[in-house]
Amino acid sequence: MARTLTMDGNEAAASSAYRINEVIAIYPITPSSPMGEFSDEWAAKGMKNIWGTVPQVSELQSEGGASGAVHGALQAGALTTTFTASQGLLLMIPNMYKIAGELTAFAMHVSARTVATHALSIFGDHSDVMACRQTGFAMLASGSIQEVHDFACIAHSVTLASRIPFLHFFDGFRTSHEVAKIEILSDDNLRAMMSDDQIKAHRERALTPDHPVLRGTAQNPDAFFQGREAINQFYTACPGHVQATFDAFAKIAGRQYKLFDYVGHPQAERVIVVMGSGAETVHELVDHMVAKGEKIGMVKVRLYRPFVIKDFIAALPKTTTAIAVLDRTKEPGAIGEPLYLDIIAALREAKDQGISTFTKDPIVVGGRFGLSSKEFTSAMAKAVYDNLSSSQPRNHFTVGIIDDVTHLSLPWDPEFHTEPSDVIRGVFFGLGADGTVGANKNSIKIIGEETPNYAQGYFVYDSKKAGTITISHLRFGPRPIRSTYLVTKANFVACHQYVFLDKYDVLSYAVPGGVFLLNAQFEPDKIWDELPREVQQQILDKKLQFYVIDAYDVAKRTGMGGRINTIMQTCFFAISGVLPREEAIEKIKETIRKTYGKKGDAVVQKNYQAVDATLASLYRVKVPEKITAKRSMPPIVSDKAPEFVKNVTAVMQANKGDTLPVSAFPIDGTWPTGTTKWEKRNIALEIPVWDPAICLQCNKCALVCPHATIRPKIYEAAQLNGAPATFKSTDFKSAELKGYKFTVQVAPEDCTGCTLCVVVCPGKDKKNPAHKAINMAPQTLLRETERANYDFFLNIPEFDRTKLKLDVKGAMFLQPLFEYSGACAGCGETPYVKLLTQLFGDRSLIANATGCSSIYGGNLPNTPYAQNRDGRGPAWSNSLFEDNAEFGFGFRLAVDKHAEQACELLAMLSSSIGGELVEALLKADQTEEAGINAQRERVALLKKKLASLKTPEARRLEILADYLVKKSIWIVGGDGWAYDIGYGGLDHVLAMGRNVNVLVLDTEVYSNTGGQQSKATPIGAVAKFAMGGKAIPKKDLGMLAMAYRSVYVARVAFGAKDAQTVKAFQEADSYPGTSIIIAYSHCIAHGYDLAQGCEQQRLAVESGSWPLFRYDPRLAAVGENPLKLDCGAPKVELEKYIYNETRFRMLQTMDPERAKMLLKTAQEETTKRFQYYEQLASLKNQT
Amino acid sequence: MDLSTNYLGFQLPHPLMPGAAPMAGNLDIVKRLEDAGAAAIVMHSLFEEQITMEETNMIHQMEVGSEAYAESLSYFPKPNEYHLGPEEYLELIGHIKKTVSIPVIASLNGVTSSGWVNYAKKIQQAGADALELNVYYLATDPLETCSAVEGRAIEVLQGVKHAVKLPVAIKLSPFYTALTHFGRELDQAGVDGIVIFNRFYQPDIDIEKLTPLPTLALSTSAELRLRLRWLAVLSGRIKASLAVSGGVHTAVDAIKAVMCGAHAVQMVSALLQNGPEYLKVVLDGMKSWLEDHEYNSLKEMQGCMNLQKSANPAAFERANYMKILQGWRS
């Protein structure tokens, strides 16, 4: 009996691939990153492959780079693999052609993900792999975690036999992140699948100076075509090798696959053809329906390329009359999607060749499903069969959405389901921070690995990074689970956060008679009255068994802090009866020991105590017979919200976006800005409270706030008329603005409670220094009053920006046009973005590289970039990860061209418009806010004048006139983009001298994809792919940029010197050439309480790790040294800075000797670099 | 000159040794101390609280933000091995034992009763020759009585004594109401030595920023007098040996401590200021003084100035006190 384990698809793929390869070159991209991370981790721990050697794992600077390294390793004869998805796969395509053209034995593993079109999506479909059909790679599709594990091995085996490279793919997230119980291939199994002779042949084809050959020639018309055709026999032979490998595998592992696997009635009439995880759901439906006597069947396409007509025809029952081909991709403009076209062509060719066996030619229709992980349920699959039953089946249909525009979608019955009654189905609502997902993964492990039951888990995450909700979907049953869709009919629903009851329809998931477990701070006899009406109604209607626990109380008593995972997990086992209670508790404790044992006994003991304390606090609630609720679930958004927000955004916010029809959506991915303000998330337990008596009016709180939820304003006293009674105000301390009032106001429902503002606040009560000008207080008690205060505050007009001195204090009176984003609580990036929008937001275009900043900047449902009262604000877009500098450069080219044409037209129309106005428009000084404002007024006047002109030139100028007001182009991205994948483009843009401003939000690690090292990672820091601590110092991007001598360069850290930050932004904008600001951004991936973010920034600067400087080429032009160091010589030892952070401290705990060695090198490097900067800054005669 | 003394059951050539300080973390310094003639090495404390905090904090920081957002389900790699526990300290004991041949006295500051006992066992396994219990504790809870504070220390001592065979000393702070009685109770509970006194971490305050200011001031000879007084009080009244810690900077300081009853003389600040070799200077100074004053051995003067020599020690003390006060008035 093979060993069984529970794991997700990524681990299943990596587990096979790692053990049968020698070189692994990767680049992180969701959802494939964990495959590379597993490999790196195993290599770092010295885990050997089946030949007793540890594979080389290398992270490259992009997938393009990874594929180049793969190509090289293959050419040099190593058994090589890589893992990728989506845009990453697209970047590999050029090398894929080469690898295939050179008949190279190679297999790669792709967690298939949507390619960005009208929007980016991290979720799964086949649009990426379908873009590789033409490369010459063989394509192998797996649909379950077991198949992923098996096919990962088979792909590497068969590529050696066939010399055709293989792209093995499975569905991103649905399969890559689903956890399931599988049989593990042993090393012996894998060894048996890897032919020594074929490996020898692979080695012998390697480039070596001992037997030199030459590849990669340039060929001409006389040779290329024939050479290309010389490959044909290998493609002809390939499927035979695949089937032979499948057969050999069956003998070893006991699981038999075919090129096309048929499932269903032997005399089926209606057949679905499908690849990937969707095939599992169709399989489940077919089993269900055939048992009821339905003559249906399905074909799972295993080997998609090379496509073998004979085997496909053989797989279909002769009785087949109608075929529906399901494609998980969309090819607009094509006759149909790729698999559909292949099937049509296959049937036609089969007929032409006389190998068709059907009594009557079947009807074939094609349809799309599951784009971007859209749900595909057995009910939807049934709708596809039902369509085939109709007299005129709909072709080119969609299923899973409601298409009310082109009416292509098939209707389905959401109540239909095929899940057997002996499968336990649970849905768990948790917070990211409470550990729900981790606990559920442990439960799956316990049940999957300790009982004969099969287990499946799939986890739905939030689109935000702070206060995130997670929904875990778990199934346990006696047979393999094929339900590759979310649980909608749960017999166990757990809500780990009471507040969710007001936001989500939690109990819609519960089946009648099911269990509802709630974590709430109310006594069992009080809880009923605290539930919203909708919840009470469903508990009564569905006769739910209702349990309650105050898990936070148990957690507090047992020292668990906010982690209620162990407690809620214990409740699940105690109530569900999946395992006998005592046994379950023993298993939970064993898991705790395994998880934390090596790290610390204290944590183990705390968890044990939590388990033991749980049962005594778990109560079954005696449910009354009638509704007693005094309240209903509040509306998702305010009644004042725009129609679009109410009709579309709010539905998505309520987790019901799947119900929105096609007509609800913008046709081209264009969304309104400024909608985060309608989503009141109320995620902070405590919010800041301002004490005007102590406030120094420095506005530092506003500067550091990552979410623009604490704002100062100055206004005339008269504005206070009608203020709510609790609205606070004080005299503004200013010689120039005597009589003005000043308020610092918190947005109570938008604040994340990060406390950065409190920590940075310098105002202390002299009588009680523990009391500052800002102090945290419980949000629930303040919510109502502060909501009214904040509304009032927002309605006070903004102070005239032309009259503000734009230092730190003054700039904070400018309206932030980036607010309430989905960034982490305490984020160190967003204060820079917010500052950018305050200073230039009303005239800026932002090109944003993919990464954290594009996610919190543009991940639906809501958009944080906002508009001012005049309707102006940042225009924002994300193109790709790798091209952002060029993308923003394009903005500049267009904007300059528009402005140039506007000027030309002005000159042309001068006599009609009036020479004086034209002259003023053309020669306007727009260096200051006042000048910009004056120009806006001139443009308004110009437009008025143009309205009366009837010439075509006047019409053209009307459209372009706004470009006479200067625009600020910002190119924003993280270090992954700027230092790694986008560096080539960035370097080019820096060299072009055009007026663009680059903002590098440097967290020194890939934050968005989960902590992989970048070239910005400092020496000694532990990151994924640098598990032993990075050995090479951080790349000095600032120095590289300065080398051009024409680029404005600044290195800033707002927590260390905010005035320098504000100045650098202004100088960058004013510099008429290219500017780059490299901004220290503390990050959750650094591993410390981000409330201390500013303090860490200060230490980074004072230790010399992050020297502050500005390099302004304008100074060189007047004979001054362009480089100004904005910080003193290091005065704090590096270790005082770095060892506050887990990323550095980890190494101390893992390998103290190496930590010491790297610290020594880092300290030396830091000192040397600072001395170098000092020398440069002290040079004279720069002209 | 015979300077030999007996401390915690060890026959030592003389009473001078470094007190608990991070110096012991540096093997070069440890070796230099031995070369300078140190009679034993007292290591810095292993703090249970620090280990627990580090452990909890590291796990928390690695978990925070994980399993919350689909693209970044974790932010750190998951290494197999961590050394968050006391391993580093325990390994250091082994290294010091290999480096020197004099007794090595480890020091422990626990929080929980299981922590005290478990870490004490580990310290014994790691090869330490003796253990100094650092019961540093600031009694800030107004509901906690002095007997509770003392009782806990005695419980800890009993637990540790029960768990290990090592000689166990206890390092006290000066802030006990009835120190003599407490010393007797510790003695009865089987303590092998009492070290007086722990120098409290005493933060200064920043009057501009209105914050506490972490400072570490080295001791001066002036601090010795408090210790002399209590050495004199305890000397002769308990079976356990006595050590002085805090304020010994010169040979005269050391001689005073011995005269008041110290069996061991621990030095930290003086060694930090003057280097490990300074220990030899003090040692030589003691030798010369004893020779000059025609003592035959250190034992002759050990405890000669303790209060037992007075018929009514309390009265003697009080009379002195009044005399001093009156002296101030005049």
| pLDDT, tens digit (0-9, with 9 covering 90-100), for B225-249 | 999 999 999 999 999 999 999 999 9
Distance CA B169, CA B95 (A): 22
Opening angle at CA B306, ends B301 and B308, nearest 5: 120
Q: Which DSSP letter does residue A865 get?
A: B
pLDDT value at B209 more than 90: no
Nearest to B70 among A122, A606, A1088 (CB): A122
A405 and A457 in a single domain? The answer is: no
pLDDT value at A179 more than 50: yes
**Which tokens sit at B173?**
């702070």
In a domain, A350, yes or no: yes
* Greater pLDDT, B23 or A707: A707
A31–B79 C-beta distance less than 8 A: no
- Class level of CATH domain B5-329: alpha beta
Distance CA A17, CA A60 (A): 19
**Which tokens sit at A984?**
């080539």
Residue of chain B nearest A855, judged by CA positions: B71
A52 and A162 in a single domain? The answer is: yes
CB A500 within 8 A of CB A477: no
The reply to whether B26 touches chain A by the CB within 8 Å rule is: no
Q: Report the share of chain A in percent with pLDDT over 90.
A: 95
In a domain, A1046, yes or no: yes
In a domain, A559, yes or no: yes
Instruction: Tell me the CA end-to-end span of chain B in Å, nearest whole number.
Output: 45
Chain B positions touching A1010 (Cβ under 8 A) are 71-75
The residue type found at A388 is L
Full 3-state SS string of A1072-1098 = CCCEEEEEECCCHHHCCCHHHHHHHHH
Query: What is the helix (H) or strand (E) element at residue A869, kind and residue range?
Result: none
Question: In terms of DSSP bridges, do strands A490-495 and A510-519 run parallel, antiparallel, or are they unpaired?
Answer: parallel
The DSSP-derived string for A954-1008 is: HHHHHHHGGGGS--EEEEEEEHIIIIIITHHHHHHHHHH--S-EEEEEE-SSBTT
Scan for tokens 């060695």, then name that residue. A1157
Scan for tokens 């190119």, then name that residue. A971
- Assign B208 a pLDDT band (cuts: 50, 70, 90): confident
| pLDDT, tens digit (0-9, with 9 covering 90-100), for A748-784 | 999 999 999 999 999 999 999 999 999 999 999 999 9
Alpha-carbon radius of gyration of chain A: 32
Chain B positions touching A1084 (Cβ under 8 A) are 64-65, 75
A1010–B60 C-beta distance less than 8 A: no
Distance CA A394, CA A694 (A): 71
Q: How far is B275 from chain A (nearest CA, A)?
A: 23
Residues of A annotated as catalytic (active site), given as ranges = 30, 63, 113, 1008
CB A1080 within 8 A of CB A1002: yes
In a domain, A257, yes or no: no
Three-state DSSP class for residue A201: helix
A855–B67 C-beta distance less than 8 A: no
Nearest to B64 among A44, A437, A1084 (CB): A1084
Distance CA A959, CA A978 (A): 34
Residue of chain B nearest A430, judged by CA positions: B68
Distance CA B5, CA B252 (A): 17
In a domain, A1183, yes or no: no
A1009–B65 C-beta distance less than 8 A: no
| pLDDT, tens digit (0-9, with 9 covering 90-100), for A217-255 | 999 999 999 999 999 999 999 999 999 999 999 999 999
- Assign B308 a pLDDT band (cuts: 50, 70, 90): confident
Sequence-ordered alpha helix ranges (H) in chain B: 27-35, 48-63, 87-99, 113-125, 146-163, 179-188, 224-234, 251-259, 269-274, 278-292, 298-301, 313-329
- Please name the residues in contact with A1: beta carbons below 8 A apart, sequence gap of 6 or more: none
A577 and A700 in a single domain? The answer is: no
Domain ranges of chain B: 5-329
A66 and A202 in a single domain? The answer is: yes
pLDDT value at B326 more than 70: no
Write the CA distances from A104 to A57, A906, A988, B146, integer angstroms.
Answer: 20, 62, 34, 80
Residue B327 is predicted with a pLDDT of 53
Residue of chain B nearest A765, judged by CA positions: B210
Average the pLDDT over B67-73 and give the result.
91
- What are the b/e assignments for A445-461, b being 16+ CB within 10 Å? bbbbbebebbbbbbbbb
Q: How many CB pairs under 8 A join A and B?
A: 144
CB A744 within 8 A of CB A664: no
The reply to whether B207 touches chain A by the CB within 8 Å rule is: no
Distance CA A994, CA A651 (A): 43
Residue from B48, B71, B112 whose CB has the most chain A CBs within 10 Å, to mutate: B71
Q: Is the dihedral of CA B46, B48, B52, B57 positive or negative?
A: negative
Three-state DSSP class for residue A684: coil
The reply to whether A443 touches chain B by the CB within 8 Å rule is: no
pLDDT value at B262 more than 70: yes
The reply to whether A37 touches chain B by the CB within 8 Å rule is: yes
CB A304 within 8 A of CB A147: no
Residue A1 is predicted with a pLDDT of 66
| pLDDT, tens digit (0-9, with 9 covering 90-100), for A451-478 | 999 999 999 999 899 888 999 999 999 9
A1084–B65 C-beta distance less than 8 A: yes
How many CA atoms are closer than 13 Å to the CA of A265, on its beta-carbon side? 19
Distance CA B250, CA A45 (A): 53
A247 and A266 in a single domain? The answer is: no
Nearest to A1009 by CA among A468, A470, A465: A465
Q: What is the dihedral of CA A553, A556, A557, A560, to 10 degrees?
A: 120
A602–B56 C-beta distance less than 8 A: yes
CB B228 within 8 A of CB B157: no
**Which tokens sit at B257?**
């401590």
Residue B94 is predicted with a pLDDT of 94
A599–B68 C-beta distance less than 8 A: no
Distance CA B142, CA B140 (A): 6
pLDDT value at A810 more than 50: yes
Average pLDDT, chain A: 96
Nearest to B83 among A431, A465, A1149 (CB): A1149
The reply to whether A615 touches chain B by the CB within 8 Å rule is: no
CB A85 within 8 A of CB A111: yes
- What are the b/e assignments for A1014-1035, b being 16+ CB within 10 Å? bbbbbbbbbbbbbbebbeebbb
In a domain, A845, yes or no: no
| Residues forming beta bridges with residue A651, ordered by sequence position | none
Nearest to A1085 among B58, B67, B75 (CB): B75
In a domain, A575, yes or no: yes
A 1074-1113 residues inside an 8 A Cβ radius of B? 1084-1085, 1087-1088
Nearest to B51 by CA among B119, B4, B97, B105: B119
A343 and A406 in a single domain? The answer is: yes
Distance CA A869, CA A1004 (A): 37
A298 and A217 in a single domain? The answer is: no
A558 and A580 in a single domain? The answer is: yes
**Chain centre distance of CA A595:** 26
The CATH number covering residue A580 comes to 3.40.920.10
Chain A positions touching B25 (Cβ under 8 A) are none
Full 3-state SS string of A260-327 = EEEEECCCCCEEEEECCCHHHHHHHHHHHHHHCCCCEEEEEECEEECCCHHHHHHHCCCCCCEEEEEE
pLDDT value at A20 more than 90: yes
CB A1016 within 8 A of CB A979: yes
Chain B positions touching A1145 (Cβ under 8 A) are 58
pLDDT value at A605 more than 80: yes
Show which of A754, A773, A804 is a domain's final residue: A804
Query: Angle of helix B48-63 relative to helix A1142-1150, nearest 10 degrees?
Result: 120
Residue B329 is predicted with a pLDDT of 47
Q: How many CB atoms lie within 10 A of CB B328?
A: 7
A364 and A504 in a single domain? The answer is: no
Nearest to A600 among B59, B64, B67 (CB): B59
Residue B281 is predicted with a pLDDT of 97
- Please name the residues in contact with B106: beta carbons below 8 A apart, sequence gap of 6 or more: B43, B46, B89, B93, B123, B126, B128, B130, B131, B132
- What are the b/e assignments for B73-109, b being 16+ CB within 10 Å? bbbbbebeebebbbbebbebbeebbeebebbbbbbbb
Question: In terms of DSSP bridges, do strands A303-305 and A138-141 run parallel, antiparallel, or are they unpaired?
Answer: antiparallel
Average the pLDDT over A1026-1042 and give the result.
96
**Chain centre distance of CA A496:** 24
**ipTM of the complex, rounded to two decimals:** 0.90
Residue A1180 is predicted with a pLDDT of 82
Q: How many CB atoms lie within 10 A of CB A72?
A: 15
Distance CA A999, CA A833 (A): 9
A433 and A383 in a single domain? The answer is: no
The residue type found at A714 is I
Residue of chain B nearest A36, judged by CA positions: B77
Q: How far is B207 from chain A (nearest CA, A)?
A: 10
pLDDT value at B111 more than 80: no
The reply to whether B327 touches chain A by the CB within 8 Å rule is: no
Distance CA A215, CA A207 (A): 9
A436 and A399 in a single domain? The answer is: no
Q: Report the share of chain A in percent with pLDDT over 70.
A: 99
| pLDDT, tens digit (0-9, with 9 covering 90-100), for A325-348 | 999 999 999 999 999 999 999 999
In a domain, A67, yes or no: yes
A956 and A1036 in a single domain? The answer is: no
The reply to whether A1008 touches chain B by the CB within 8 Å rule is: yes
The residue type found at A685 is L
A 103-142 residues inside an 8 A Cβ radius of B? 122
Question: In total, how many domains does chain A have?
Answer: 6
Scan for tokens 């370097």, then name that residue. A987
Average the pLDDT over A810-825 and give the result.
97
Nearest to A602 among B55, B64, B83 (CB): B55
Q: Is the dihedral of CA A621, A626, A631, A637 positive or negative?
A: positive
The residue segments making up the domain with residue A374 are: 262-410
